[in-house]
């Protein structure tokens, strides 16, 4: 018996220690150990920005372009989403879950920064303000994207997991405007010349001023309001917004680059006849682009700019324009009505006919399974490729993305574009200033037109609308503009029987706009279901119009 007792004792001794089951992760911090320092908050803020990176269809710029009257879905014969989206129908009730998720992740992470900012020792109040300002800006940015794409959305402003009902538009835009005002207040008034190249990509006071104007115009236009009610109960008036825009234009240090075309990547390719003939020189990422206030910045180390890959022609591995999936083909009506004397026309649209003589084209729409082919492509977003030093090999393409030479991107991937995506340019700020009715409205409009050698026109809404369509073509702005001007129905009605090639077969595109859907997209059905009825589907999408291939591909 003594033996048994002693053995039992030994057993208990060895394994009885109560902390045996305690384990820890050696590679992940957790909510008990993070964030503790300023550096931790800095990492948390990077993670907010990282949600700007989109892949696939969760790219709001791509979506906005495709649904606009200026572009079609395009893509391959099985890319139904694209041409379904373009026709305001859907092939998958959860198609936009990726976008929805990404934006809410961004908001969650911004909330996380804002919630934890007081729990950390700061070296100075200014540094702390910088973080508050940037996080507020980013939360506003993501909320705004949700606001114009999905309209009726839940608005989490804390990291608590709550099944929130949809916020009223007044509440949503009140929060966005409050956040942006916070950003304007907290962020330093450092002029562009004082910002290091290595810091480009961070939100600035100027970007906040510009974005606030975009938000204000959208909200007051689309919802027919005069001002925005902020969360503290005060109102934000048009004049306040004009004041910030004037401040931005006067004090930001941003200026228009002299040649509009130098903003876009193709101007880098000096073997491209169009570039040679026009003496273009790309101002590129950090190479003299004084115009861009806010952009999504990529690197070979980060996720790549999928926008370019989606936009490229199918099976094209040439210079200056490389391989892609053929989305967002440009409506030939835009090309036709755009005056030739505007250098922005050929600076924005790639006419494949010109490419045969000016660059290189290797394009057989009947074989490459392309649909909604118009022959016109969005030059601002096409992937930019160059021939290697050894020159073109016409037997089989061996061109590579300019990002390989510029940044060391991995050419092994088709998706190696890391050129940044412009979100807000000074030209837009100027046109918004003109539209809002700044005292300098005429000057602002003239500056935009003068840059491209066009004469002054009176600062009427009609002229501003036209100017915005051309100046900001394919930059994801058009759809918001049409909605806030309430021009969508009439604009889409014009897109009728546009000739296209469908897998090489002649066909036409007609956009059937559904005003009942108010241009808001379908909220991912799985979210509606998961919310247990707390979320309501957007008008026009509750009985889902399904995509019918034969209705669209004619």
Partner 1 sequence: MFNPNNYKSMQKKWFNDEGLNRALFKWLRVMKLTVFFLLATLIHLSASVYSQQTKLSISLKDATVRDVLKTVENQSEFFFLYKNENIDVNRTVNVDVKEKSVEYLLDQIFKGTSISYEVVNRQIVLIDKGQGNSFPQSQQQQKSVKGKVTDSSGATLPGVSVVVKGTTTGVITDNNGNYSMANIPENATLQFSFVGLKMQEILIGNQTTVNVVLDDESIGLEEVIAIGYGIQKKKLVTGATVQIKGSDILKQNTANALGALQSRAPGVDITQTSGQPGSAYKVTIRGVGTTGNSSPLYVVDGIVRGGINDLDPSSIASMDVLKDAASAAIYGARAANGVILITTKQGLESKPTLTYDGYIGFSNVYKPMKTLDAQQYTQIMNEAAANSGLNPFNYASLVPNWDSFSNGSNRGVDWLGEALVHNAPTQRHSINLRGGSSTAIYATGFSNFSEEGTIGNPVSPKYNRSTFYINSEVNVIKNSQNRKLLKIGENLSYAYYTQNGINVGNQTSSNVRNLLNENPFQPNAKNTDGTYITAIPWEPSGANPIARMILTQGMNNNKYHSVNGNAYVVIEPIKGLTLRSTFGINVGANMNNRFTPTYNLGTQTTSTLDVTNQSMGMGLGWSFENTAKYDFKITDNMFDVLVGQSAEASGGQLGASLAGSNINNIFASFNSLEYAYLDNSKAIDPSKTTLSGSPYSEIKLKSYFARANYNYKEKYLVTAIFRADGSSNFAPGKQWGYFPSISGGWVLTSESFMETQQKWLEFFKLRVSWGQNGNQSITPFQYLSTVASDADGNYAFDRGVQKTLSSGAYPNILPSPDISWETSEQTNIGFDSRFLRSRLGLAFDWYSKVTRDWLVQTPILASYGTGASFINGGDVENRGVEVALNWKDKAGEFTYDVNLNLACNKNKVLNIANSEGIIHGAANVLSNNTPEVYRAQVGYPIGYFWGFKTTGVFQNENDILNYVNSKGEMLQPTAKPGDVKFVDFNGDGKFISGDEDKTMIGNPNPELTMGLSFSMGYKGFDLSMNSTGVFGNSVIQNFRTFGLPQQNYPIDILGRWTEEGTSDRLPRMMYSPHPNFMNISDLYVQDASYLRITNFTFGYDFKKIWKNAPLQQLRAYVAVNNLATFTKYTGMDPNVGYGEESWAKGVDIGFYPAPRTAMFGVSIVY
Residue 443 is a binding residue for partner 1 (CB under 8 A):
no
Distance CA 253, CA 89 (A): 44
Q: Which of 411, 442, 443, 463 binds partner 1 (CB under 8 A)?
A: 411
Q: Which of 20, 118, 125, 336 binds partner 1 (CB under 8 A)?
A: 20
Q: Which stretch binds partner 1 (CB under 8 A): 66-74, 157-165, 186-194, 232-240?
A: 157-165
HEC sequence for 385-421: EECCCCCCCCCCCCCEEHHHHHHCCCCCCCCCCCCCE
Residue 97 is a binding residue for partner 1 (CB under 8 A):
yes
Q: Which stretch binds partner 1 (CB under 8 A): 151-159, 234-242, 486-494, 510-518?
A: 151-159
The answer to whether the beta carbons of residues 357 and 304 sit under 8 Å apart is: no
Residue 530 is a binding residue for partner 1 (CB under 8 A):
yes
Query: What's the min distance (Å) between Cβ of 169 and partner 1?
Result: 17
Residue 168 is a binding residue for partner 1 (CB under 8 A):
no
The answer to whether the beta carbons of residues 50 and 295 sit under 8 Å apart is: no
Nearest to 513 by CA among 118, 219, 86: 86
**In 10 A of CB 161, how many CB atoms?**
8
For partner 1, what does the binding mask look like between residues 46 and 65, x meaning CB under 8 A?
xxxxx-xx------------
Query: What's the min distance (Å) between Cβ of 50 and partner 1?
Result: 4
Q: Which of 106, 133, 312, 433 binds partner 1 (CB under 8 A)?
A: 106
**In 10 A of CB 193, how many CB atoms?**
9
Task: Read off the tokens for 537.
Answer: 């589907």
* Alpha-carbon distances of 537 from 45, 480, 514, rounded to whole Å: 32, 21, 16
DSSP state of 80: H
Residue 30 is a binding residue for partner 1 (CB under 8 A):
yes
DSSP state of 228: E
Residue 454 is a binding residue for partner 1 (CB under 8 A):
no
Query: What's the min distance (Å) between Cβ of 511 and partner 1?
Result: 20
Q: Which of 38, 55, 77, 510 binds partner 1 (CB under 8 A)?
A: 77
Q: Which stretch binds partner 1 (CB under 8 A): 158-166, 174-182, 248-256, 474-482?
A: 158-166
Residue 366 is a binding residue for partner 1 (CB under 8 A):
yes
Query: What's the min distance (Å) between Cβ of 401 and partner 1?
Result: 11
Q: Which of 169, 290, 299, 442 binds partner 1 (CB under 8 A)?
A: 299
Residue 105 is a binding residue for partner 1 (CB under 8 A):
yes
Residue 390 is a binding residue for partner 1 (CB under 8 A):
no
Nearest to 371 by CA among 247, 273, 267, 508: 508
Task: Read off the tokens for 417.
Answer: 């574009």
Q: Is the peptide bond before 143 cis (omega within 30 degrees of 0)?
A: no
Query: What's the min distance (Å) between Cβ of 44 and partner 1?
Result: 6
Nearest to 538 by CA among 88, 20, 36, 187: 88
Residue 356 is a binding residue for partner 1 (CB under 8 A):
no
Q: Which stretch binds partner 1 (CB under 8 A): 42-50, 119-127, 375-383, 462-470?
A: 42-50
For partner 1, what does the binding mask look like between residues 482 and 521, x meaning CB under 8 A?
--------------------xxxx----------------
Q: Which of 57, 72, 83, 104 binds partner 1 (CB under 8 A)?
A: 104
Query: What's the min distance (Å) between Cβ of 302 and partner 1?
Result: 4
Q: Which of 123, 124, 198, 224 binds partner 1 (CB under 8 A)?
A: 198
The answer to whether the beta carbons of residues 367 and 392 sit under 8 Å apart is: no
The answer to whether the beta carbons of residues 147 and 107 sit under 8 Å apart is: no
Q: Which of 13, 250, 301, 389 binds partner 1 (CB under 8 A)?
A: 301
Token pair 């969005």 is found at 378
Radius of gyration of the chain (CA): 26
Q: Which of 13, 25, 224, 391 binds partner 1 (CB under 8 A)?
A: 25
Residue 391 is a binding residue for partner 1 (CB under 8 A):
no
According to CB under 8 A, which residues from 269 to 298 bind partner 1? 285-287, 295, 297-298
Crossing angle of helices 125-149 and 97-116, rounded to 10°: 160
The answer to whether the beta carbons of residues 413 and 400 sit under 8 Å apart is: no
Nearest to 520 by CA among 547, 551, 542: 542
């Amino acid at each position: 018996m003594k033996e048994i007792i002693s053995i039992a004792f030994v057993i208990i001794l060895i394994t009885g220690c109560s902390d045996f089951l305690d384990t820890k992760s050696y590679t992940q911090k957790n909510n008990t150990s993070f964030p503790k320092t300023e550096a931790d908050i800095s990492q948390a803020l990077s993670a907010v920005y990282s949600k700007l990176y989109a892949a696939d269809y969760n790219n709001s710029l791509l979506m906005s372009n495709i649904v606009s009257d200026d572009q079609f879905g395009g893509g391959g014969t099985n890319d139904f989403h694209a041409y379904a989206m373009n026709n305001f129908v859907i092939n998958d009730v959860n198609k936009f879950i990726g976008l929805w998720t990404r934006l809410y992740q961004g908001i969650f992470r911004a909330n996380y920064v804002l919630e934890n900012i007081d729990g950390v020792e700061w070296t100075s109040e200014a540094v702390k303000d910088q973080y508050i300002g940037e996080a507020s800006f980013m939360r506003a940015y993501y909320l705004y994207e949700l606001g114009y794409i999905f309209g009726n959305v839940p608005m989490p402003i804390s990291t608590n997991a709550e099944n929130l009902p949809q916020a009223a538009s007044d509440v949503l835009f009140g929060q966005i405007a409050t956040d942006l005002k916070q950003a304007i207040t907290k962020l330093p008034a450092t002029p562009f010349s004082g910002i290091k190249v290595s810091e480009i990509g961070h939100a600035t006071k100027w970007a906040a001023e510009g974005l606030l104007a975009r938000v204000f115009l959208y909200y007051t236009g689309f919802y027919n309001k005069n001002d925005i009610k902020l969360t503290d109960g005060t109102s934000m008036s048009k004049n306040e917004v004009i004041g910030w825009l004037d401040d931005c234009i006067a004090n930001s240090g941003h200026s228009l680059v002299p040649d509009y075309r130098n903003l876009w990547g193709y101007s880098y390719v000096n073997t491209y006849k169009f570039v040679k003939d026009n003496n273009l020189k790309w101002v590129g990422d950090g190479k003299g682009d004084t115009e861009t206030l806010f952009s999504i910045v990529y690197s070979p180390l980060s996720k790549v700019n999928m926008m370019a890959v989606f936009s490229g022609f199918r099976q094209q591995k040439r210079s200056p324009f490389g391989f892609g999936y053929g989305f967002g083909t440009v409506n030939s009506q835009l090309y036709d009505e755009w005056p030739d004397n505007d250098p922005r026309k050929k600076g924005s649209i790639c006419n494949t006919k010109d490419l045969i003589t000016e660059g290189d084209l290797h394009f057989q729409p009947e074989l490459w399974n392309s649909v909604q082919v118009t022959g016109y492509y969005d030059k601002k977003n096409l992937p930019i490729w160059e021939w290697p030093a050894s020159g073109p090999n016409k037997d089989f393409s061996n061109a590579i993305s300019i990002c390989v030479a510029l940044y060391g991107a991995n050419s092994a991937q088709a998706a190696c574009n890391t050129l940044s995506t412009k979100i807000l340019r000074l030209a837009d700020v100027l046109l918004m200033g003109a539209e809002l009715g700044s005292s300098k409205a005429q000057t602002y409009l003239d500056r935009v037109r003068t840059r491209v050698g066009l004469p002054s026109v009176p600062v009427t809404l009609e002229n501003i609308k036209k100017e915005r369509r051309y100046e900001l073509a394919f930059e994801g702005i058009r759809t918001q503009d049409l909605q806030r001007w309430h021009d969508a129905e009439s604009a889409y009605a014009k897109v009728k029987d546009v000739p296209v090639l469908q897998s090489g077969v002649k066909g036409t595109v007609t956009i059937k706009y559904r005003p009942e859907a108010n241009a808001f997209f379908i909220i991912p059905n799985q979210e509606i279901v998961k919310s247990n009825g707390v979320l309501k589907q957007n008008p026009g999408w509750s009985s889902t119009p399904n995509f019918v291939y034969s209705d669209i591909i004619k």
